Amino acid sequence: MLISRNPREAETSRYDAIIIGGGIYGITLALEAGRRGLKILLLEKGDFGEQTSFNSLKIIHGGLRYLQSLDLHRFQESVGERAWFLRHFPDRVYPLPCFMPLYGKGTRTPPVFRIALLANHVLSLKRNKGIRPDRHLPAGQVVGVQKSKEIFPLIDLEGLKGGAIWYDAYMPDSQLLVLDLLLTACNLGATPLNYVQATEILTDSKSHVRGVTALDRENGENHEYYSDLVINAAGPWCRTIVKGIKGTREDLFRPSLAWNVLFKRDALSDHALAVQAKETGSRLFFVTPWKGRIFAGTGHEPWPGEPGRPFPTRGQLSNFIQDLNKAIPGLSLQIDDVDRIFAGLLPTTEVGSNKLTKREVIIDHGTEGGPKGLYSVGGIKFTTARLVAEKILDLAGSGTSGQIDERLKTSSYPEIQYNIQALDQYQQLLARDSSIVHLDDFLLRRTSLWENRDKAMVLAEKLCTLFPWDENRKKQEIGKCATCLKALPDEI
């Protein structure tokens, strides 16, 4: 069995910790707790990695940009965590060459970037330690105008002085990396339950946590799960989880909208491109060659609504595309070129802002007048989620981090290829992973089959025959998949 889903059976055990939220922060918490020998229950109200974790730009940043503000602590954290992913998951995470055109003004000039790239190299000398040779990250360099034109044929030549090259890490199938992390946590003893929503934090007469009540959203059953430690890692929903509970702070998670756009057009380079229009105050874009196509981000706007399935408005998307065209003259993208929008919610500094927080927020509710044994986290980066898990567990005094064996035995979720004539391979996966509850769980988050929309919908019809569903349920599931796979959601 890859992943077992049995909410009733899970109720018969007591846990060292209950984690609420099955995105990257909850999953890495389960993994790190498992490495400390703790018995973990992971509750997710939807599917694992379904929301913001699915919708990232798929880059694991090493923190070059933090050198500009001399935030060396954040830089070192990012470099270390990028190395952790490259070391432990080399079949999902790859080196990514990045390129930025350099012109004659400001900090983006060849002399300044030579210094920056030298500092980046010297301060990350151990970045390749213990990593497979074909996953090593070379030192960066500054190249001339001719080489810049070869790397980026659409480069704006006016005032061009050269280009900067550096290396980061890339996870093209980020949803499968999330499943690898989850499966590794399972093999360390975690019990994950998707479509099980935590509804109440249980406390005793001394205001100490004793567990949670939870609703199985598939059959309407209520359950109680017990632990003296509850960690709220529910992302944009984390404030809802602790609403009315003492010790909650305003800075826990103020949501803002963030999105990336996949276009139908061929990639502009085999490097990721950091580009910006020459107008003062213009936004910086990162344009990656995701599987041979243009994948650009990131748009940021305030988010006034409740957590849900956020998307930019048509006007916001139009402005994003217009600004991208200004940054790359001659690109001429249109809304009709959009293949998919990847949108999620990230924490911001204040309500109504699109200025992202710089660091995670961790709250020990017990030290701020709330229940003892309750912790909440508002995370900001995929890259450092695992490190944040370590910090929380150390703060909670759970397990001993010094006894963790760095030789982590990771697990890999099986990759399924498209074959409309071989339904047996899909049946086998369904039999081994009972957390596949809905059709979109399978197509979008257990495979990469969603990338070809037409083929995915043909397969969806066939897959329905493998589930014990009546005709009405099949129509609902196919309709949900069709909505999920639309290039432009109805909201846009």
pLDDT tens digit at each of 492 positions of the chain? 899 999 999 999 999 999 999 999 999 999 999 999 999 999 999 999 999 999 999 999 998 989 988 899 999 999 999 999 999 999 999 999 999 999 987 788 999 999 999 999 999 999 999 999 999 999 999 999 999 999 999 999 999 999 999 999 999 999 999 999 999 999 999 999 999 999 999 999 999 999 999 999 999 999 999 999 999 999 999 999 999 998 888 889 999 999 999 999 999 999 999 999 988 889 999 999 999 999 999 999 999 888 888 999 999 999 999 999 999 999 999 999 999 999 999 999 888 888 889 899 999 999 999 999 999 999 999 999 999 999 999 999 876 655 565 679 999 999 999 998 889 999 999 999 999 999 999 999 999 999 999 999 999 999 999 999 999 999 999 999 999 999 998 878
Contact yes or no for 295/263 (Cβ under 8 A):
yes
Contact yes or no for 271/152 (Cβ under 8 A):
yes
Contact yes or no for 258/343 (Cβ under 8 A):
yes
User: How far is residue 314's CA from residue 49's CA, in Å, rounded to a whole number?
Assistant: 26
- Name the residue with tokens 């243009």: 294
Q: What is the per-residue pLDDT for 403?
A: 59
Residue 173's CB is within 10 A of a number of other CB atoms, namely 19
Contact yes or no for 171/398 (Cβ under 8 A):
no
Domain range annotation of the chain: 7-53+175-251+357-403, 254-356, 423-484
DSSP for 56-101, please give it: S-SEE---GGGGTTT-HHHHHHHHHHHHHHHHH-TTT-EEEEEEEE
User: How far is residue 284's CA from residue 383's CA, in Å, rounded to a whole number?
Assistant: 20
Contact yes or no for 180/412 (Cβ under 8 A):
yes
Contact yes or no for 2/183 (Cβ under 8 A):
yes
Tokens of residue 228, six digits: 């003296």
In sequence order, the β-bridge partners of residue 86 are: none
- Name the residue with tokens 């406390």: 203
Name the residue type at position 396: A
Q: What is the per-residue pLDDT for 278?
A: 87
- Show Cβ contacts of residue 479 under 8 Å, excluding neighbours closer than 6 positions: none
**Cis amide leading into 298 (omega within 30):** yes
Q: Strand, helix or coil at 374?
A: strand
- Show Cβ contacts of residue 438 under 8 Å, excluding neighbours closer than 6 positions: 47, 477, 480
User: How far is residue 191's CA from residue 8's CA, in Å, rounded to a whole number?
Assistant: 12
User: How far is residue 428's CA from residue 490's CA, in Å, rounded to a whole number?
Assistant: 35
Kindly report the backbone phi and psi dihedral angles of residue 322, in degrees, each rounded to the nearest multiple of 5, phi listed first: -60, -45
Tokens of residue 398, six digits: 């759970």
Q: Which CATH superfamily is domain 7-53+175-251+357-403 in?
A: FAD/NAD(P)-binding domain (3.50.50.60)
Tokens of residue 146, six digits: 């001719």
Looking only at the bridges linking them, the beta strands covering 255-266 and 59-60 are unpaired
- Show Cβ contacts of residue 60 under 8 Å, excluding neighbours closer than 6 positions: 81, 82, 85, 86, 93, 168, 169, 170, 171, 382, 383
In sequence order, the β-bridge partners of residue 212 are: 201, 225
User: How far is residue 329's CA from residue 307's CA, in Å, rounded to a whole number?
Assistant: 36
Torsion (CA) 354, 172, 269, 143 in degrees, nearest 10: 80
Q: What is the per-residue pLDDT for 51?
A: 95
Question: Using alpha carbons only, what angle is made at residue 145 by residues 142 and 150, rounded to the nearest 5 degrees?
Answer: 95
Instruction: Could you list the beta-strand ranges (E) of 103-208.
Output: 141-143, 162-170, 191-194, 196-203
Q: Which helix (H) or strand (E) covers residue 119, if one does?
A: helix 110-122
Give the residue among 240, 228, 231 at the shortest CA–CA distance from 204.
228
CATH 3.30.450.40 fits 254-356, yes or no: no
